[in-house]
């Protein structure tokens, strides 16, 4: 366990899967958690308050700048600051580049890339003022290797890796670290977007021989959000059961 005592963390995608698990993990490690999601993340915040810590829920569509500014206002009035941003919200697909429509491509870029851009744009002024900050963006194995059925998803996650690297370099001198976690195939509701054949093939192709668990991603996000990783920035860490190394 890492120590996040007293840290204020904004977590997008906190209504489900990896984001929800990350919200619980952070609360158990002492952070005050802002659970943000386009669908109700009240449940996550309520469960955290019942079991293990402090949390509020703020509805957020990551593609809307006015909702980010409103989230920052509410977070600062409730908790006084933002120490950590985890951009975890994302969408997936199952298609090929010939059948992919322009609308689908634009939506993917809007949520998975613009959402991460707006999140960093929203929190960085507060982190600069404090003289410290941690940003963890969630990309994917698909940013690093070719995976069938994921053309715009792969492009969007590649953009998350390269944008994070650029921001990391620019803000390193201000004691702000920006890193990426690239999960392999993790058992969450997002897999419902895959065909069963895709999920079976992905599982068989994972050297660990199984799907990952959301907690295995949350633990890496927590490490990269903690002061134990202060000299680590601009990295994309693959948590993929060995897939990328075969
Ligand atoms: N599960 C996997 O195998 C896997 C693998 C690699 C990367 N990832 C990435 O991990 C992240 C979390 O995925 P997950 O598996 O937990 O999926 P999930 O579907 O369980 O959770 C995604 C969450 O993002 C939210 N969301 C979607 N669009 C949003 C928007 N516009 N604004 C705010 N919230 C929005 C959803 O409501 C949902 O709660 C995603 O970025 C995904 O691409 C997942």
Residue 206 corresponds to which tokens in the numbers above?
A: 């994972």
* HSE value, Cβ hemisphere, 13 Å, CA-based, for 101: 3
Q: Are 44 and 20 in contact (CB under 8 A)?
A: yes
Q: How far apart are CA 208 and CA 239, in angstroms?
A: 11
Distance 37 CA to ligand 1 centre (A): 10
Report the pLDDT value the prediction gives residue 41, as an integer from 0 to 100: 78
pLDDT (mean) for 130-145 = 98
Q: Confirm or reject: Cβ of 61 under 6 Å from ligand 1.
A: yes
Total number of residues shown for the chain: 246
The pLDDT confidence band at residue 196, using thresholds 50, 70 and 90, is confident
Which residue puts its alpha carbon closest to atom 43 of ligand 1?
A: 90
Ligand 1 centroid to 29 CA: how many Å?
A: 22
* The model's pTM: 0.98
Structure tokens at 243: 């897939």
Strands of 236-239's sheet in order across:
54-59, 32-37, 8-12, 84-87, 133-138, 176-183, 236-239
Q: Can you tell me which atom of ligand 1 is nearest the CA of 202?
A: 3
Q: Is the CB of 181 under 6 A from ligand 1?
A: no
Burial 43-65 (b: 16+ CB within 10 A, else e): bbbebbeeebbbbbbbbbbbbbe
pLDDT single digits (tens) 10-50 = 999 999 999 999 999 999 999 999 999 999 779 999 999 99
DSSP 3-state helix, strand, coil percentages of the chain (rounded to 5)? 50, 15, 35
In this predicted model, which residue has the larger pLDDT, 199 or 12? 12
- Between the CA of residue 132 and those of 29, 127, 184, what are the distances in Å? 19, 5, 30
Helix runs in the chain, H state only: 17-28, 42-51, 65-79, 102-109, 115-130, 151-171, 196-204, 214-225
The verdict on whether 153 is a catalytic residue reads yes
Q: What is the mean pLDDT of residues 165-186?
A: 98
Report CA(97)–ligand 1 centroid distance (Å). Answer: 21
Q: Is 190 in the pocket of ligand 1 (CB under 6 A)?
A: yes
Has residue 122 got a pLDDT over 90?
A: yes
pLDDT digits (tens, 9 = 90+) for 210-239: 999 999 999 999 999 999 999 999 999 999
State mean pLDDT over 135-145: 98
Would the pLDDT of 202 be above 90? Answer: no
> Largest alpha-carbon pair distance within the chain?
49
State the average pLDDT over residues 91-118: 97
Q: How far is the CA of 89 from the centre of ligand 1 (A)?
A: 4
The mean pLDDT of the chain is: 97
Task: Dump pLDDT digits (tens) for 73-89.
Answer: 999 999 999 999 999 99
Closest CA to 62 of 173, 202, 160, 180: 160
Catalytic residue, candidates 153, 171, 202, 243: 153
**How many Cβ atoms sit within 10 Å of the Cβ of residue 72?**
18
Domains of the chain: 8-240 (3.40.50.720)
Give the residue, out of 190, 212, 213, with the most ligand 1 atoms within 8 A of its beta carbon, to mutate for a pocket test: 190
């Amino acid at each position: 366990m890492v120590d996040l005592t007293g840290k204020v963390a904004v977590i997008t995608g906190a209504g489900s899967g990896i984001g929800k698990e990350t919200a619980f993990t952070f609360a158990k490690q002492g952070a005050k958690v802002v659970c943000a999601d386009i669908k109700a993340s009240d449940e996550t915040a309520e469960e955290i308050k019942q079991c293990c810590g402090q949390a509020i829920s703020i509805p957020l569509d990551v593609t809307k700048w006015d909702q980010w500014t409103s989230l920052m206002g509410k977070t600062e009035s409730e908790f006084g600051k933002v120490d950590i941003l985890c951009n975890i919200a994302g969408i997936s697909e199952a298609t090929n580049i010939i059948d992919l429509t322009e609308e689908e491509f634009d939506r993917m870029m809007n949520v998975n890339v613009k959402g991460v851009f707006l999140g960093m744009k929203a929190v960085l002024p507060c982190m600069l003022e404090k003289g410290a900050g941690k940003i963890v963006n969630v990309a994917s194995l698909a940013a690093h290797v070719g995976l069938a059925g994921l053309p715009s998803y792969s492009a969007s996650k590649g953009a998350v890796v390269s944008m994070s690297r650029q921001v990391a370099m620019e803000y390193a001198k201000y004691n702000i670290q920006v890193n990426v976690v690239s999960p392999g195939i993790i058992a969450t509701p997002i897999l419902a977007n895959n065909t069963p054949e895709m999920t079976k093939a992905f599982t068989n192709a994972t050297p660990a021989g199984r799907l990952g668990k959301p907690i295995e991603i949350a633990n890496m996000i927590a490490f990269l959000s903690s002061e134990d990783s202060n000299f680590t920035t601009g990295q994309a860490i693959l948590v993929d059961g060995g897939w990328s190394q075969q």
